[in-house]
Chain A
Amino acid sequence: MNKPKPYSDMPLRNRDIKVIVNAGLARRHAAEQRFRWYGLTAISLGLIFVVLMFGSIIAKGLPAFWQTYIQVPIAFDAATLDPQGTRDPQALASADYNALVRSGLRQLFPNIEGRLELRALYGLTSTDAAYELQRQVQQNPDLIGSNQAIWLLAAAPVDTFIKGNIDRALDEAERPIKNNQIEWLDQLQGAGKIEKQFNTVLFGNGDSREPEQAGIRGALMGSFFTLLVTFLLSFPIGVATAVYLEEFAPKNRWTDIIEVNINNLAAVPSIVFGLLGLAVFINFFGLPRSAPLVGGLVLSLMTLPVIIIAGRAALTSVPPSIREAALGMGASKLQMVGHHVLPLAMPGMLTGSIIGMARALGESAPLLMIGMVAFIVDVPKNFLDPATVLPVQIYLWSDLPERAFVERTSAAIMVLLAFMILMNGLAIILRKRFERRW
């Protein structure tokens, strides 16, 4: 660089400079304006897409949180349910509860005759209605002999119709609800015997092939067990690795190689971890397919590099003066790390882990390989029960032909998004509250 010339030596061409600057000024302002405008467009484009996505998911999924019920008068006939009068649980379990539902529906519409008409009538309530009555009787055998008006779950096409998603004007052959059924439903609605209640089934049941009985409880528990395994494995190992590499390990070619590998692993497509899990955990160690334990192991392989990288970044951000002061006071290296550096780095490490876990929560590709993309009705109770996870449940529901699964798919997406927002929010709160600036 040239040395600046002394002030007195500068030629007096201030006017020229001013002219030149003024001439270019408009152009420079315009360029800056344009640049700001590009930025604004980019952001608003992004926002529009986010709003569109959320809007369409919420618009589709919101109705799924309510479910249609039909009030049916049920006569808990002692002769059908418990002819011997023994209240024997075995006999109560095998009684014909469908007959109760049918006679209840006939009581609502006594004038209906003919096999086809009756079938259409019985099709109004879910196939779960009989099991619902069974559960109620088993819980409270005193119901036998009494008459009750009971809210029974409506079948999925009825639910879709009541929510206004089936056009009445369509040709009869093109809708799942027929003319006579519409007539009955209108009558029931007029009499106040149709009600939309909060969809407890969605949160209380496992998967089902009947949309009105399908729930995400199984998938939620599966996600919970899987993530628990992931956290229990990847957090301690990740933190220990980060501390060792950052504080204790000598800086030589070996640690360089390890570091490069860890950074590489963080970018490996997740399906590769699934293949690895299949080869190692299932084929070699003989762990069961579809188990949250294996899912957790595979996802922790995926999360580990993220936690290690975040952990090392958190450790480097602790200023060396802390270490020097601790060592100067006579602390051992382990005490220095354990008492001072690690607690100060912990918020950063936790933030990294939570973000890693959020990514693991949304992952479905590696689980395909280890058998977690499956239809599972029973809610998993431990780490070895067959299970599926929330994103996989969404994928499976999106591929089913029944129309009523569309809104349930979106509802499941909303639940997944809520968990994501919760986890990422937690990460932000942790950072805001505990992070120290030096």
Chain B
Amino acid sequence: MIKHKLALAMTAAFVLAGIAQAQSARDYISIVGSSTVYPFTTAVAEQFGKSNANFKTPKVESTGTGGGFKLFCGGIGVQHPDISNASRAIKKSEIETCAKNGVTDIVEINIGFDGIVVASAKKNKPITLTIKDLWLALAKEVPDSTGKLATNTAKTWQDVNPALPANKIEVLGPPPTSGTRDAFVELVMDHGCKEFAAIKELEKADEKKAKTVCQTIREDGAFIEAGENDNLIVNKLVANPNALGIFGYSFLEENLDKIQGETINGVAPTFESIADGKYPVSRPLFVYVKKAHIGVIPGIKEFIAEFTSEKAVGDDGYLNRKGLIPLPTAKRKQVATDANGLKTLAP
């Protein structure tokens, strides 16, 4: 009896595998990767599907940047995705993994910028922060007056900088799995700590230790991990007027009636200040294409053309209305030429 059942299950499995083989010719583009780039790539995918009757609308999965590269670098063939979204540049280790699995020719497209804002509820008085203030408020260990490292005891913003109000330090931010958190650590924490002579000296003596001190965020309740959902952080800010929140610029733009972006290093987060690079906390967004799949999966070339067109990423493009900050014109032209010429990453 059990043997028969086993045999039956095996046959069923083989039949299923057979179906899979039969449909192995995938006729739509498969995209994976960052949830930050997801809103932009999906908009391009939809536009591409609507304006090209010959091609199916691409499928866009939201897996996170790291998860996306894991799938993307899995190998060549229809069961592996063609394009990966990333909210940071591909790492060397990831290029190596890719190469190990036969994925060698990768086309990198820089699609634009995303600003990371520190925002608070509208009813609050806006405060002007510096990267140094943010680091002092959020780092786990900070140098004391003699330059020795000690556990961060700052309770209010005034403890950090006498010019700031005496509000409790309460910052809602993304968890470590998020690309936004990576970027925040890299752009704010790493730069903020370098403003201290003590850390600079430490860096000379023990680079690894210095990096840990710079990047470790305190865990005593001042920094609250609020999950990947940025809308949730916006709602929590409205409910809690003391708190600050960290998220992508597009969420600030959509909720300007409820929240305001704080000035950092004297620059307020606006479309213009992020676009011309004055706002210090912004990062480039990327899309990576597997060259070996061009010609196998229909429409990849045309999809790249759509993604790099002025209509999409230009100063007045539809992605701009979704909150993407465009590249400067010259850089944009260069990216478009390289991408459409399928220039691959140097190995």
Contacts and interface: CB of A to CB of B under 8 A. Distances in A.
Nearest to A244: B1
Contact of A287 (B20, B50, B256): B20
Contacts of B63: 373
Given A209-B43, A209-B322, A375 B231 contact: no
A331 B49 CA distance: 63
A386 B28 contact: yes
Contact of B229 (A170, A297, A399): A399
B239 interface: no
Contacts of B323: 401
A376 B228 contact: no
B49 A285 contact: no
Contacts of B13: 285
A285 B39 contact: no
A382 to B, nearest CB: 9
Contacts, number: 103
Interface stretch (B53-61, B129-137, B193-201, B211-219): B53-61
Classify the secondary structure of A's interface with B: loop
Interface in B198-235: 228-231
B16 interface: yes
B257 A398 contact: no
Contact of B62 (A208, A288, A373): A373
Given A286-B79, A374-B61, A398 B229 contact: yes
Interface string B287-312: 00000000000000000000000000
Determine the interface band of chain B, counting residues with CB < 8 A from chain A: 35 or more
A297 B23 CA distance: 18
A293 B19 CA distance: 10
A208 B46 contact: yes
A93 interface: yes
Given A399-B35, A399-B231, A289 B30 contact: yes
B230 A401 contact: yes
Interface string B7-41: 00000010011011101001010101001001101
B257 A170 contact: yes
A403 interface: yes
Contacts of B57: 376-378
A48 interface: no
B45 A375 contact: yes
B39 A209 contact: yes
Contacts of B256: 173-175
Given A174-B256, A398-B231, A286 B20 contact: yes
A287 B45 CA distance: 24
B124 to A, nearest CB: 15
B46 A377 contact: yes
A104 B59 CA distance: 35
Contacts of A364: none
Given A399-B231, A403-B255, A293 B26 contact: no
B16 A375 contact: no
B253 interface: yes
B20 A285 contact: yes
Interface residues of A, number: 40
A88 interface: no
Contacts of A376: 57, 59
Contact of B60 (A285, A289, A374, A403): A374
B84 interface: no
Most central of A244, A297, A376 by chain B CB within 10 Å:
A376
B180 interface: no
A288 to B, nearest CB: 6
B291 to A, nearest CB: 21
A218 to B, nearest CB: 10
Contacts of B250: 401
B156 interface: no
Interface in A344-364: none
Most central of A244, A281, A288, A403 by chain B CB within 10 Å:
A288
A396 interface: yes
A398 B76 CA distance: 34
Contacts of A166: 257
Contact of B17 (A167, A286, A297, A401): A286
A96 interface: no
Contacts of A286: 17, 20-21, 79
Interface in B248-292: 248, 250-251, 253-257
B175 to A, nearest CB: 14
A63 interface: no
Given A175-B257, A285-B20, A378-B49, A401 B231 contact: yes
B257 A288 contact: no
B31 to A, nearest CB: 8
Interface string A156-196: 00000000001100100111100000000000000000000
A275 interface: no
Most central of A93, A167, A244, A374 by chain B CB within 10 Å:
A374
A223 interface: no
A42 B288 CA distance: 54
A75 interface: no
A375 B60 contact: yes
Most central of B16, B17, B231, B254 by chain A CB within 10 Å:
B231
A290 interface: yes
A354 B193 CA distance: 58
Nearest to B23: A384
Interface of A: 93, 131, 166-167, 170, 173-176, 208-210, 244, 281-282, 285-290, 293, 297, 371, 373-378, 384, 386, 396, 398-403, 406
8 contacts: A173-B256, A288-B26, A297-B16, A378-B49, A386-B59, A396-B62, A401-B230, A401-B254
Given A167-B257, A375-B45, 6 more contacts: A93-B53, A166-B257, A174-B256, A287-B17, A293-B16, A384-B23
